[in-house]
Amino acid sequence: MTEIKKLLIIGFVWPEPNSSAAGARMLQLIRLFQEEGYQISFASPAMDSDFMVDLENLGVLKKSIILNCASFDGYVKELNPTIVLFDRFMMEEQFGWRVSENCPRALKILDTEDLHCLRLARQKAFKEQRLFQLNDLVLEDVAKREVASILRCDLSLMISEYEIELLRTVFKIEESLLYYLPFLLDAKQVDDFIVLPSFEQRKDFVFIGNFLHEPNWNAVQYLKEIIWPLIRKWMPAAVLHVYGAYPSQKVLQLNNVKEGFVIEGRAADAVEVVRGARVVLAPIRFGAGLKGKLAEAMQCGTPSVTSTIGAEGMNGRLDWNGFVEDDPEVFAKRAVLLYEDEVIWRQAQKNGLEVLNNRFAKSLFVNDFKVRIKELLLGIDAHRSNNFMGAILQHHTINSTKYMSRWIEEKNKK
């Protein structure tokens, strides 16, 4: 009898593919493992949300788990997963040692989503009004936790080549522990773009992004205070629609219809919104990983203007589907040019098609990834013996984290 292959995903939150790129990314991974015949369970300590995907409808077993509670030990031991995938390093910190104790043969994979220490170090440098330096990463406390988590796992999925290079050069992480797996998107044909709304049929600018994510909130502030007034100076009738899940009161207060700055809140259908817009604006000033909003713009045939950080890791040596600018005045001028010049707009749209097909087409990555997983499962002992630093961290983490968790567990009983 063939042994059932089981994947346990331990999620930081329940996936919301219509709210964030992280949610969409998680669904891509679920489908990838389902194609390989894995029975998938998704466990999370998070509260249910109104916008979470229906996991059971996708054929995924849903399980609520509790932090610092021995009930997880019994659950994971009985499940006995072939692979455990941690959604962000915080979940590996909480549950990694329990997995190692109860299922020592399980392959442990970390899906980093983005390099949190990079995003936080850039954010700190921005708020202190200074340039980000690579040494800032070493000084970031989160880096110590995140890198330790990477070392304790058998493989870490990285969404950005730039972040792999940082881990290799700054933190000296062995390449065998890292795997480049970006967005896994369906390839596009020129014919797919012909059926999209034309240049003439589209109107207005759009920004879209989850407001729980600090870089998005900052970008909207930047648009409101600096960039949008410049655009309106050259295009007095211009309108920007700002969409995003979980808008706070401070976001809603930016709404000003007279200025053409319209806060729309959550989009009922993000794809429909972006398909109908002529230009996407994304002046991201700090952050990490890949920007789902910009990949979505390319899929919708909608050119964009973004920053260096916004485009980081996305187009490689290919031309951007619009413009990449960091100076606010140049950014605004390029936005107007892209909006008004159909020839430039159409070329930008073609550039986006090239980026999608050459950088994110699912077919470019899935076969190699499946082979890598099979190799690790067959050679897990040799792989782990070559990761001595990970073994050291695993030993000390189990001892320290275990007893801290046990202490919290006992305290919670009182």
Residue with more model confidence, 195 or 38: 38
Q: Facing residues of 63 across strands?
A: 43
CA distances from 153 to 9, 89, 94, 210, 308 (A): 14, 10, 13, 29, 31
Q: Quick check: helix, strand or coil at residue 121?
A: helix
Q: How many CB atoms lie within 10 A of CB 408?
A: 12
**pLDDT score of 212:** 87
Q: Which of 388, 377, 403 is nearest to 101 (CA)?
A: 403
pLDDT, position 390: 75
- pLDDT for 68: 86
**Tens-digit pLDDT profile for residues 206-255:** 999 989 889 999 999 999 999 999 999 999 999 999 999 898 899 999 99
**Residue 398 has what pLDDT?**
61
Q: What is the pLDDT of residues 70-109, one digit of tens each?
A: 899 999 999 999 999 999 999 999 999 999 999 999 999 9
- The pLDDT confidence band at residue 21, using thresholds 50, 70 and 90, is confident
Give the separation between CA 320 and CA 306, rounded to whole angstroms: 9
Distance CA(31)–CA(321), nearest Å, equals 28
pLDDT at 187: 83
142-157 as b/e, with b when 16 or more CB fall inside 10 Å?
bbebbbbbbbbbbbbb
Residues 6+ apart with CB under 8 A from 130: none
Instruction: Give helix then strand counts, H and E, for the chain.
Output: 19, 13
Q: Domains, the chain, ranges and CATH?
A: 6-184+365-413 (3.40.50.2000), 190-361 (3.40.50.2000)
In DSSP terms, which residues pair with 64 in a beta bridge?
Answer: 44
Q: Look at residue 1 and tell me whether its pLDDT is greater than 60.
A: no
Least-confidence region, from 25-29, 155-159, 249-253, 388-392: 388-392
Q: Mind listing the pLDDT tens digit for each residue in 380-414?
A: 999 998 887 877 877 666 666 666 666 666 667 66
What angle in degrees, to the nearest 10, is found between the helix axes of 116-127 and 214-222? 40
Rounded-to-integer distance, Cα 44 and Cα 33, Å: 18
Check pLDDT > 70 for residue 182. Answer: yes
